[in-house]
Structure 1
Amino acid sequence: MKTDRAISINLATTRQVWGFAEAVDGCLKAGITAISPWRDQIAAIGLDEAARIVRDNKIQVTGVCRGGMFPAETAAGRQAQIDDNLHAIDEAAALNADCLVLVVGGLPGSSKDLVGARQMVTDGIAAMLPHAKASGVKLAIEPLHPMYAADRACINTIDQALDVCEVLGETVGVAIDVYHVWWDPQLANAIARAGRMNRIFAHHICDWLVPTKDMLLDRGMMGDGVIDLPGIRKMVEDAGFFGPQEVEIFSQDNWWKRPGDEVLGVIKERVASVC
């Protein structure tokens, strides 16, 4: 029987109609008490004010989006990315976030060295670890669909992410976003492995539309596409993760054009009926 799991709203889902404060108000009105904001949304209102809103309303922050983007053509460029990630850790700590989500970055410049890019990712996260541990912030690598390997994320499967976790230790885990991993023939085994390692830090949901008109900005509402959401949810729960399902929908031609209250209403209905 399906267990009752809370909903978190990744604030990308309503970013075109609500800022940070408006999104929190809308979520509370809908009975949703967990969010995952993006760093530009935090910056727009100011970290102190964002932290006050979270604290005063007893909001759970399931993640801060995003750190990462480690590969760069020069040592100075790589260090600049690490420095920015240290600031991201501070922001996640101030919001008492469950994790800082890492979209790790792709090939730097005109490079074709995918193995080298992945090593830059491991080295970059390693450089963050002392500050993350001191701040009590978990780091969640989010594997992205292989279509993003060149420009956004050279880590594309849960197993690849877990290999990095094994090198770096327990502070580093994974954010499982169904949009990016649903296709993986090793998905069940990979999620079970993540569970054995106690490394599932977040579970993001949406749907894959057929046809998809834009690979970045045309994610579907749950139930409108082909992802086996209940099946993946069972894998995640069997692996021991029962945190909120975080709804993250980029939808420039559909859901981003709708009122936030309407979007949240549909999300609640779909999570109850198809997830």
Structure 2
Amino acid sequence: MSLERFSFNQATAQHWPLPEVVAGCVAAGVPGIGLWREPAAEHGLARSAKLVRDAGLTVTSLCRGGFFQADDWRAENLRAIEEAAALGAPELVLVSGGLPAGSRDVDGARRRVADAIGELAPHATAAGVRLAIEPLHPMFCADRCVIATLGQALDIAERFDPAVVGVVVDAYHVWWDDTVYAQIERAGSRIAAFQVCDWVTPLPEGVLLGRALPGDGCIELRRLREAVDAAGYLGPIEVEVFSAEVWARPGAEVLDAAIAGYLHHVV
């Protein structure tokens, strides 16, 4: 089986410096890499772009923009769009943010997300970057992401051209939803990114770090991959894992395990 669509999201090896991540991907025959803004900035935006470009890797996405409840959301997201363009990332992943401080108005927060994306869309178009709305599991609704289902993400994305605003299908966040396969079919060409990891129980105390490498949990990853394929998405498949246990392992070992899990449980 081929690694043609495989992309290694650098968050999966959180403590692996970017030059080593890039070198490891090249050595393993990995064609794509998902980048995060903070480590790219730490290495230097221009240096990071040159490093990845010179290695022949494709940047599959940049994480992240969003957090529209923050006072400085507009400036921060315009900066994120510029960074995505500089790094050659076709997609800027948007995590919408939770409720504003002191608010219980989740409907209002979702309207704010839609309005903010409408304001950002012309800037993203000019930069050649697609805004990719990522729904997060409902347990993150209050503090991280009021967009909790793929259907809610599509309700916003469908107001825009599919080339400008799309959605992220992240296995960790959507696998539980009994409507997810219908929503994937609905999404079609709006699927901007497909990310895989696994769900383990019991969840650790810090639930954000409750992910596992593909095959180590309970998600029907191949079924989800077949669904996004059937919907017309034939783009990169990113392995993205947040896990203290995984992060404690050497980066090269994590990459090898991510590849093995991908080959055995996703494709």
If the length of structure 1 is used for normalisation, what is the TM-score?
0.93
1:23 is matched with 21
Contact 1:143–1:161 (Cα < 8 Å) also in 2: yes
Residue 140 of structure 1 and its aligned partner are, at CA, apart by 0.3
Map Cα deviations across residues 80-99 of structure 1 (whole Å, 9 max, x no partner): 21111001001111111120
Residue 5 of structure 1 and its aligned partner are, at CA, apart by 4.7
Query: Take 2:248 and 2:229, find their aligned partners in 1: how far apart are those partners?
Result: 33
Q: Which amino acid aligns with 2:152?
A: Q
Say which is worse superposed, 37-46 or 165-174, in terms of deviation: 165-174
2:166 is matched with 173
Q: Which of 112, 117, 126 does residue 109 from structure 2 map onto?
A: 117
Contact 2:3–2:30 (Cα < 8 Å) also in 1: no
2:99 is matched with 107
Query: Take 1:120 and 1:167, find their aligned partners in 2: how far apart are those partners?
Result: 14
1:91 is matched with 83
Query: Take 1:35 and 1:200, find their aligned partners in 2: how far apart are those partners?
Result: 18
Query: Take 2:76 and 2:156, find their aligned partners in 1: how far apart are those partners?
Result: 20
SS, match of residue 199 in structure 2: coil
Contact 1:5–1:245 (Cα < 8 Å) also in 2: no
Contact 2:90–2:128 (Cα < 8 Å) also in 1: no
1:218 is matched with 210
Q: Which amino acid aligns with 2:199?
A: W
Please state if 1:35 is matched with 2:33. Answer: yes
Map Cα deviations across residues 37-67 of structure 1 (whole Å, 9 max, x no partner): 1110111011110111122122111100000
Map Cα deviations across residues 93-123 of structure 1 (whole Å, 9 max, x no partner): 1111120000010100010000110111111
Q: Which amino acid aligns with 1:150?
A: A
2:140 is matched with 148
Please state if 1:12 is matched with 2:4. Answer: no
Query: Take 1:56 and 1:258, find their aligned partners in 2: how far apart are those partners?
Result: 27
Query: Take 1:114 and 1:3, find their aligned partners in 2: how far apart are those partners?
Result: 43
1:82 is matched with 74
2:248 is matched with 257
Please state if 1:193 is matched with 2:186. Answer: yes
Q: Which runs of 5+ in 2 are unaligned?
A: none
Residue 4 of structure 1 and its aligned partner are, at CA, apart by 6.5
Contact 1:20–1:37 (Cα < 8 Å) also in 2: no
Query: Take 1:251 and 1:230, find their aligned partners in 2: how far apart are those partners?
Result: 21
Q: Which amino acid aligns with 2:150?
A: I
SS, match of residue 65 in structure 1: strand
Contact 1:10–1:36 (Cα < 8 Å) also in 2: yes
Please state if 1:237 is matched with 2:229. Answer: yes
Say if 1:5 and 1:184 are closer, same or farther in 2 by CA, change over 3 A. Answer: farther
Query: Take 1:119 and 1:3, find their aligned partners in 2: how far apart are those partners?
Result: 42
Structure whose residues are more often strand by fraction: 2
Q: Which runs of 4+ in 1 moved over 4 A?
A: 2-5
If the length of structure 2 is used for normalisation, what is the TM-score?
0.96
Residue 225 of structure 1 and its aligned partner are, at CA, apart by 0.6
Query: Take 1:23 and 1:248, find their aligned partners in 2: how far apart are those partners?
Result: 14
Contact 1:5–1:242 (Cα < 8 Å) also in 2: no
Map Cα deviations across residues 187-221 of structure 1 (whole Å, 9 max, x no partner): 110000001xx100100000000222131012111
Residue 3 of structure 1 and its aligned partner are, at CA, apart by 8.1
Contact 2:3–2:29 (Cα < 8 Å) also in 1: no
Contact 2:4–2:31 (Cα < 8 Å) also in 1: no
SS, match of residue 209 in structure 2: coil
Residue 169 of structure 1 and its aligned partner are, at CA, apart by 2.9
Please state if 1:162 is matched with 2:161. Answer: no
